[in-house]
Homo-oligomer: A and B are copies of this chain.
Amino acid sequence: MVGIGPGSQIDMTPRARQAIEGAEVIVGYDTYLELIKELVSGKTIIGTGMMQEIDRCQAAVEQAMEGKQVAVISSGDPGIYGMAGLVLELVAKYPESVQPEVSVVPGISAVGAAASILGAPLMHDFAVISLSDLLTPWEVIQKRIEMAVAGDFVIAIYNPKSIRRTSQIETVREIALQHRGPETPVGIVHHASRTKEDMKISTLEQFTNEHIDMFSLVIIGNSQTYVADGKMVTPRGYRL
């Protein structure tokens, strides 16, 4: 399982590059394969096509059990809402004697990339929450938001909104406003490290008026986060 980072190859580690170059079979979402197309040309590709996530990872496991070197590509870090867990779950269904060897090559995560573009919002304790309710009941997600807000965590939100799912980010805003001031900085980053990269720093009061979609990463500051010279900073607590 190989993390290619947020987009540009300049943010992909040599370990990830070597894993891809050494693989005979490349498995991944077409959009991500497009980001590394010259690295994968000539290899067997198991792309999106008609296959769902589970089927694609199952195909990867089967190829590996046939003795092939397989790289399953995730954008960002495969260990953070990526394919690492799913592949390990699928592998564990087989007897140990036939299981392929599996390793995870970490990548620059979407949240790490977004933070670097915004300034330094993650300098203190933070919580990472996905608003996608496809695999997680909304009640669980909402409880986590409530706890993260009550604990004054900086909160990084994956999958904040989709065409179908628009109300959850409004609920996050309402819960956060119960504990944090309306001027609390909120950063929104799109397409970190890709050609379409852009960022916006807004406030807890206003941020849901900004463009947010399934490619956005949203970071809500804690009670100490401030904006200076267009950068979002959560102070560590030094006396300066």
Which residues does A use to contact B, with CB under 8 Å?
A: 5, 8-15, 18, 53-54, 77-82, 84-86, 88-93, 96, 99, 102-109, 112-113, 115-117, 119-130, 135-136, 140-141, 143-144, 146-148, 150-153, 228-229, 231, 233-238, 240
B116/A104 in contact, CB under 8 A? yes
* 23 interchain pairs, CB-CB under 8 A: A5-B13, A11-B13, A54-B240, A77-B116, A79-B116, A79-B123, A81-B124, A84-B120, A85-B234, A85-B235, A90-B240, A91-B229, A92-B228, A106-B108, A107-B108, A109-B109, A112-B112, A125-B129, A125-B144, A127-B151, A135-B237, A144-B152, A147-B153
**Which B residues lie within 8 Å of A99 (CB)?**
229
A126/B123 in contact, CB under 8 A? no
Distance in Å from the Cβ of A107 to the closest Cβ of chain B?
A: 7
Kindly list the 9 A-B residue pairs having the minimum CB-CB distance in the complex, ordered from nearest: A147-B151, A135-B237, A85-B123, A85-B120, A84-B120, A92-B228, A104-B116, A147-B147, A106-B116
Q: Give Cα distance in the complex from A8 to B229, angstroms.
A: 34
Q: Give Cα distance in the complex from A84 to B79, angstroms.
A: 24
Q: Which of A78, A112, A147, A237 has the most CB of B within 10 A?
A: A112
**Which B residues lie within 8 Å of A103 (CB)?**
116
Q: Give Cα distance in the complex from A240 to B54, angstroms.
A: 8
Q: Give Cα distance in the complex from A129 to B152, angstroms.
A: 11
Can you tell how many copies of this chain the complex includes? 2
- Whether A113 touches B120, Cβ cut-off 8 Å, given contacts A13-B11, A127-B126, A148-B147, is no
Contact of A85 among B84, B140, B150, B233 (CB under 8 A): B233
Distance in Å from the Cβ of A177 to the closest Cβ of chain B?
A: 18
Q: Which of A18, A79, A123, A128 has the most CB of B within 10 A?
A: A79
